[in-house]
Structure 1
Amino acid sequence: MDSSSSAPNGTALAHDQDDTAGHGTRLLPQVLDSLASTDPNHVLGMSAKSDISEGFNSYTALQLSQAVNYMSYWLESQPGMSHTIAYISIQDFRYWVMELAAIKIGHPLLLPSPKNALPNTSSLLEGTKCSMVFYSGYCKEQCIQLKGLVAGLQIVEVPDLDEMINTPSKHYPYNKTWEEAKDDVAMIVHTSGSTGAPKPIYYTNKVLAFPDSAYRNPSIPGGVSTSLYAMIAKKKPFLSSTPFFHLSGIFFGVYTIFCPATSVIGPPSSPMTGKMVVEIAKRIELDGIIMVPNMFDVVFSEYRDEIRPYLGPLAVSTGEWIVNNTNAHLWQIFGSTEVGPYFMLAPPKSHWQYMQFHPITGPSVEQIAPDSDLYEVVSRRLSDPNLAWSRMVFDIFPDIDEWRSKDLVSRCKDPGCENLWKYEGRVDDIIGLSNALQVNPVDIETSLQSHPALRGALVFGWDHTKCGILLEPKDPNIAADALIEEVWPALESANELVPEHARIRKDLIIVSDPERPFQRAGKGSVVRSLTTKDYESEIEGVYRARGVA
């Protein structure tokens, strides 16, 4: 996971961390029920209406607690329910309700991405022995198709959120202690599928408390933590544009309840767009924004003039503009489904594109070869048992002592910045040329990320002597030659930033077919292996046509 956060109002640390009592050992349903009792009118969620000019639907702690109680009884009333149940939904706060209701009734909730290929979701259902899928909205058709693939599968539509909230229901008790419930499997998520078939990952209540544990992260003199409690102030609204089935969406949702804060989302039935971000920012004084990097690029390239008055005033050009024209803090969130977000410190504003790992609770980095500039991010168990909470991966995989992430970083070479690291992709991304040279494609791909004519770019070259690039246009009707001419100046600039053997020749550019879009994981990242395979004949054809080995 690599996403970005902007705190537009220059927010400092949201919590002083003086009182760590209870943090990391609280059970989510009990926290929500307690909040419903002590602060019932606090707005936990705001959902933009289809026409954002008409405002937002707001959901208080009391309303969501009532919805959880109602759905706990509703779920228990369903006949033939498997131990593991699944939920595939549009992007609305029913995700939260289903997650907490499933915890209360003791049924792990599998959250397949609605964007998964059907065989991937059916594999997850079969692998977790799940025979009942709940759904909402336009996900119905997908569930009907799944029913035809998975023997004995039941599919059930859930009530709408207003019905969940407004139907009278008595309190559904959840009286387990932390020790009794911490190792109960609460939720089953899955890897993104960007490096292969999605795999189920089992989240216990202890794992779900990981964002709350961040409150206990040791302070570093002169450093600013980028934990969730530092990003978003208590009782303040923040825009969360990441999907609720994804690690970032899950943890920011959990954080909202633990904090408590106010999570703002776009219209549930529509994918978030740059224009929606602008319209939301015009109407709500946001304390922070959580978006994937390519969404930041869209917002600040296409809507820069519109959004500047509201956020004060990423490809590199985006980030440079933000730090040079605003008082916003800009930092990256970096992690994975298995490790959660790594603990880091905010880098200097001049080095916003780098990361600084927390010196106590952050991961290690290991050079991948003696002469390499690349280092792999590695997590190991800490010797201090009081810091065990900071290693979520070992709660998920208790039988291991080391987790090699396959994520690569490089050390900043500026004097005095040796503790800063730049993300360079994954071990799986590295392209091995037939002349034994290696290419990291991420530099060029990231340079083109914000190009207004492109939806995606993918470098290829495995087992050849030269690299080429596959371009995915935003406009499906643009002619290939016209797109290449439009993108070539940016590609020339990108070529100047990489070694000679990694540079792209103009005659090794392929434009994708609109009928075959790039294959993407649920988080929106391109699945390199599958997309390259889809265009294997075109790739080999261009090498033959150009006489390149």
Structure 2
Amino acid sequence: MKLPTPQGLSSSTFRPPPLDGSLTFPEICDLHAKNSPNHPLFRYTDADGNLQTIEWARAVRGFHKAAQITLQRVAPKSSDVRPVIGIVAVIDQITYFSLICGILRAGYQAFPVSPRNSDVAVAHLLQSTNCSHVFVSKDGGMQKLAGAAATKLATMGKELTILPIPTFADLFAPSEPVHSLPPMPKLSLDAPAVILHSSGSTAFPKTIIHTFRIMMESGLIPYYGQMDLCGHTLSAHAVPMFHLMGVIQLSWTAFTGLTMAVFPPTSPPTVPTPDRVFDAAVSTNSSLFFSVPAFLESWARDPHRIPILQKFRTVIFAGGPLQPAVGDTLVRQGIHIAHVYGLTETSNICMFLPDAPPEEGWDYFYMSPHTDPVFEPVEDIPGVFHLIVKKTPRHTPAVLDTNIDGVPALRTNDLFVKHPTNPNLVKVYGRHDDQIMHSNGEKTNPGPLEAILLKDTRIKYAVMFGRSQFHAGVLLFPTEPFDPADDKRVIEFRREIWPTIVEANRYAPQHSRIFKEMILIADPSRPVELTAKGTLRRQTVLDLYKEEIHAVYEAVAQSSQIHLDAPQEFDSQSSLEFVRRVVAEVMLDLPGDDDDLFQQGCDSLQATWIRNSLLHALRCSQRVDMKIVPSNFVYTYPTLRLLADLLTRLTSGAASTSQDITRRTEAMRAMVRKYSEGFSERQASEKATKDEIVLVTGTTGALGSHILAQLLCLPKVSKVYAVNRRSTSDDLRKRHESSFSANGLDLNLLASPKLVLLEAELNQPKFGLSSEEYNSLKHSVTTIIHNGWQVNFNISLSSMEPLVAGTRNLVDFALSCTHTVPPRFVFVSTAGIFRNLDTKVALEERLSDPRVAVGLGYTESKWVAEQILENASQSTVFEPVIIRPGQLSGAENGAWNSSDWFPALLRASQLLGHLPTISGYASWFPMHHAAKAVIEMRTSHEKYLHITHPKPVAMTKIMSPLSGVLGLPLIPYLAWLELLEAAALNESSASNNPGVRLLDFFRTFQPNASDEDDALSPVALSNTHATIAASSMLSVAPLTARDVELWVSYLRQGGYLS
């Protein structure tokens, strides 16, 4: 078959599959496991910032595992029946992709259902496809949705079996055996494969069946474009897998060798925000960027993102219209944008991908050569055409509802205009059926929702709006007109019709629901134009009210439910009842008091309304200094009870009450008691060995990778066990390669015969290892360096308990080791445990008071671990060395984790246009020198040691060079902080600014610190014992402008800084 742009012919790792239809999609996947085993299918950045890859061979094993699970749970009723397996889930993209592939490999039909549908819509979809089994994710929102749908189906006499969805670990865990499946039974290309559905803006969305032929034709679309996609990585982070945009990735990757960049496979999955998607696209080295218009519009407003967008080969948008001014700005600045147009019924039908945007205009595009479009003039709109898509030998629409010249075709309902000088170029004009396309790729079909509203006799006409906006609104014409400037009457009218709005919202998907603030009232003094049928001319009305519609969207970012009366007193019960009322206004089903709002379906728009409503109540109370209110607090306190507790604490004048401190310190002491009971008796049976054999945990992070590299270079060390958590990768070596590469370390060290890589779960018996592996460690290890810990400042102590349990298990392991002398035990703690110390200097000694460490689950857990180690040393021969590092700076190559506060400050400063002046001194210690100090300290007999620079420098010696390198003027710290606080109040800038997420941290800085004070803390770390235990610390040079240049260079190379 001769095609214009062959794919992957020059690749050494990808062999294109047969293009003649001789194999169905699952067979092609099996073929890739054999012919293209090492070609990358998925790419993502893990929690340590390392780039991970899943190649085709491993991916297909995951598909087969998904197929086995499907076959075990669902048996076909007969050999000629291919069951439909539904998916109602909020899970990561890799698992979702793999589950669809597994269902197809099992010989069944896959039906991914949008989790944004109402339960009525889900029940209808499952009933209409005779789907009796559905995989459902474990989160409360999806369990509730599926359960409600099952209840509705039961009333129809239909039984629905809800299946627990397999996790990433279930499909890809290296310890899980995957038995090869027999070859697939031969299926016709015209057999159903994946079932999709229409937008769901009505109670009854329509199912659309994609056959294996359509999957093949979708995979061939790039062959009619102008680019070879093989070797490119497509950022698909913003793509939902239940949507055509997600499902088409199956075909594109299988037929072209395109690599799909996604978020890491975590549970719960990463919620795509403009900031997260952008950062992930950069960190995965994507060359192609696939996004919805709303995200692209957000990035276009940030001048610092423009140079990064310019580096992408193509930035693709789909799912809705891009605001013209945004597209003009991007193209003018040299960004190659491409509009992908398609329908669920047709798949993509524009050229994919062109070399460059058409010179005639970026919003125009060519139809793909494999299609046969017919543009039929619209009678009453000159120059506008109705698109009809004919079936061709190379393109089969999933729905055929008309005939053109005897050829089956689809009437799309989409309207187009042609370019005035190049009629082969077209652009979208709108929808014939008035379906509203939102900027996030969702669609609202206004007709059925308006019909529900018109059942209310108080409403004469209703016109929904929202094209190119994030969500919908409605313009209402009251039966008894009144002046919309009469605010009191507007409020009364909204209250009167609210039950009708609620009824419409119950049938609408989430993006189509109407908030009170999005209800506009028509002005009776303005005449409106009616059709011959007596209905409103929609577009004429929308044009007439465009200024009011624009104004209501402008007000959304600052909106709040001011009609809700705040409590007179913010005691616990009153606060909780008020929060319930606020949330009930924006969420259709009120979550339980302890349910996570976002797992129950709360989106960013609803979070904004909740936040602003609570802020309004706090301001009205006149009891709260608004500057102490945490930024993004709805995300930080994501349950009704946590939000209520926050209100109570803030209005009582204490962000952290003594009662809260007491509760937290008691939890810390209780955990210490729990893990300090019954330490093992020491029973040595072997002589000491001359060789040093080290077990070190957490070696894929920055400090851990440096420790590992340096241990492998020590002649005295004969073996190193690098122990890390089981994670989303089966190849621990690749994780180390990524970390070593990022930190500028010698990759050849990973081939050292000294190195043994182990994946383990320290909190499990025998670390989750086999008895043979565990006993081998017991008989050999002489030194333990416990460096692995979860660095997450947003989770509680209870969430950290598995890490504490793992530390206790390591203590028991050390005491059970068989050498005469138990292993030396080094624990990497944190200087953060001194966060509440009321003295100027933190000494290298035990910290007995838990109140000093209270405030973060991270510091609380480190304090608990220190006490357990101390208690073990008091009652056994166990000898720990507890190291508390202060702030560690970039490594020898400048490597600095972009999630740390300092890179976030630099990025925030670029967005704000100013750099802060910071007083005091910096005792930051370079990462590679810290690793050396840790290794030296392993032989110390001092129990507590601090790593901090013995030669601190004034912060001016860091900030002044930064000002020059970044080209940013320095301003007083408090002035900079005010700019950041102002950015936090603006939803669009807040989502793009990493400094906003750390606003509370930046508020703790000392703006007027003296030259004798540490810039980050009023407490200085004593390092007297440390410099004796690790004499190399004394020879480390002070930080200079050269270090600053290295940090900035590293962050720029990674695309984090512009």
Partners of 1:381 and 1:391 within 8 A in 2: yes
The Cα shift of 1:331 comes to: 1.7
Cross-structure match for 2:332: 324
Q: Choose from 31, 34, 43 the match for 1:34.
A: 31
The worse-fitting range, judged by mean Cα deviation, of 190-199 and 205-214 is 190-199
Compare relative contact order (CA 8 Å, sep 6+) and give the higher one, 1 or 2. Answer: 1
Cross-structure match for 2:289: 289
Correspondence 1:46 to 2:43: yes
What SS class does the counterpart of residue 394 from structure 2 fall into? helix
Question: Aligned AA for 1:70?
Answer: K
Correspondence 1:421 to 2:416: no
Correspondence 1:504 to 2:513: no
Cα–Cα, structure 1 residues 402 and 122, in superposed 2: closer, same or farther, change >3 Å? same
The Cα shift of 1:357 comes to: 2.2
Cross-structure match for 2:259: 262
Q: Choose from 363, 387, 398 the match for 1:353.
A: 363
Cross-structure match for 1:276: 276
Unaligned stretches of 5+ residues in structure 1: 1-11, 218-224, 383-387, 433-439, 450-454, 482-497, 527-549
Cross-structure match for 1:377: 387
Q: Choose from 320, 341, 348 the match for 1:341.
A: 348
Partners of 2:5 and 2:222 within 8 A in 1: no
Whole-angstrom distance in 2 between the partners of 1:16 and 1:60: 16
Whole-angstrom distance in 2 between the partners of 1:137 and 1:14: 42
Mapping for residues 232-247 of structure 1, pairs under 5 Å? 233-240=229-236, 241-247=238-244
Whole-angstrom distance in 1 between the partners of 2:250 and 2:65: 20
The Cα shift of 1:187 comes to: 1.6
Partners of 1:81 and 1:131 within 8 A in 2: no
Whole-angstrom distance in 1 between the partners of 2:171 and 2:24: 22
Q: Choose from 375, 390, 394 the match for 2:395.
A: 390
Mapping for residues 97-176 of structure 1, pairs under 5 Å? 97-138=98-139, 139-151=142-154, 152-165=159-172, 166=174, 167-176=176-185
Question: Aligned AA for 2:160?
Answer: L
The worse-fitting range, judged by mean Cα deviation, of 371-380 and 243-252 is 371-380
The Cα shift of 1:142 comes to: 2.7
Question: Aligned AA for 1:261?
Answer: L
Cα–Cα, structure 1 residues 192 and 231, in superposed 2: closer, same or farther, change >3 Å? farther
Query: Alpha carbon RMSD of aligned pairs, Å?
Result: 4.3
What SS class does the counterpart of residue 329 from structure 2 fall into? helix
Structure number with larger C-alpha Rg: 2
Cα–Cα, structure 1 residues 461 and 364, in superposed 2: closer, same or farther, change >3 Å? farther
Cross-structure match for 1:538: none
The Cα shift of 1:35 comes to: 1.7
What SS class does the counterpart of residue 332 from structure 1 fall into? strand
**Could you report, residue by residue, the CA deviation over 1:251-300 in whole angstroms, capped at 9, with x for unpaired residues?**
02321122212101235513311101221233232221111212211222
The worse-fitting range, judged by mean Cα deviation, of 249-258 and 116-125 is 249-258
Partners of 1:32 and 1:65 within 8 A in 2: yes
Whole-angstrom distance in 1 between the partners of 2:346 and 2:305: 37
What SS class does the counterpart of residue 389 from structure 1 fall into? coil
Unaligned stretches of 5+ residues in structure 2: 78-82, 313-321, 436-445, 448-462, 485-493, 495-509, 520-538, 562-584, 589-600, 606-1058
Partners of 1:378 and 1:404 within 8 A in 2: yes
Whole-angstrom distance in 1 between the partners of 2:190 and 2:515: 53
The Cα shift of 1:171 comes to: 1.2
Cross-structure match for 1:189: 196
Whole-angstrom distance in 2 between the partners of 1:15 and 1:176: 28
The Cα shift of 1:425 comes to: 1.5
**Could you report, residue by residue, the CA deviation over 1:413-447 in whole angstroms, capped at 9, with x for unpaired residues?**
3xx23332221211111899xxxxxxx998x944x
Cross-structure match for 2:72: 77
What SS class does the counterpart of residue 427 from structure 2 fall into? strand
Cα–Cα, structure 1 residues 120 and 137, in superposed 2: closer, same or farther, change >3 Å? same
Whole-angstrom distance in 1 between the partners of 2:220 and 2:5: 16
Partners of 1:23 and 1:216 within 8 A in 2: no
The Cα shift of 1:17 comes to: 9.2
Correspondence 1:366 to 2:366: no
Partners of 1:342 and 1:363 within 8 A in 2: no
Cross-structure match for 2:872: none
The worse-fitting range, judged by mean Cα deviation, of 103-112 and 353-362 is 353-362
Mapping for residues 450-489 of structure 1, pairs under 5 Å? 455-456=470-471, 458=473, 460=475
Cα–Cα, structure 1 residues 394 and 145, in superposed 2: closer, same or farther, change >3 Å? closer
Task: Return the TM-score normalized by structure 1.
Answer: 0.70
Cα–Cα, structure 1 residues 505 and 390, in superposed 2: closer, same or farther, change >3 Å? closer
Cross-structure match for 1:484: none
Cα–Cα, structure 1 residues 456 and 480, in superposed 2: closer, same or farther, change >3 Å? closer
Identity %, equivalent residues: 20
Q: As a proportion of its length, which structure holds more strand?
A: 1
What SS class does the counterpart of residue 425 from structure 1 fall into? strand
Correspondence 1:309 to 2:282: no
Whole-angstrom distance in 2 between the partners of 1:20 and 1:270: 32
**Could you report, residue by residue, the CA deviation over 1:166-217 in whole angstroms, capped at 9, with x for unpaired residues?**
311221133445xx43122112111112466211112211111122232554
Mapping for residues 55-66 of structure 1, pairs under 5 Å? 55-66=50-61
Partners of 1:236 and 1:262 within 8 A in 2: yes
Cross-structure match for 1:539: none
Whole-angstrom distance in 2 between the partners of 1:68 and 1:396: 35
Partners of 1:187 and 1:203 within 8 A in 2: yes
The Cα shift of 1:246 comes to: 0.7
Partners of 1:132 and 1:153 within 8 A in 2: yes
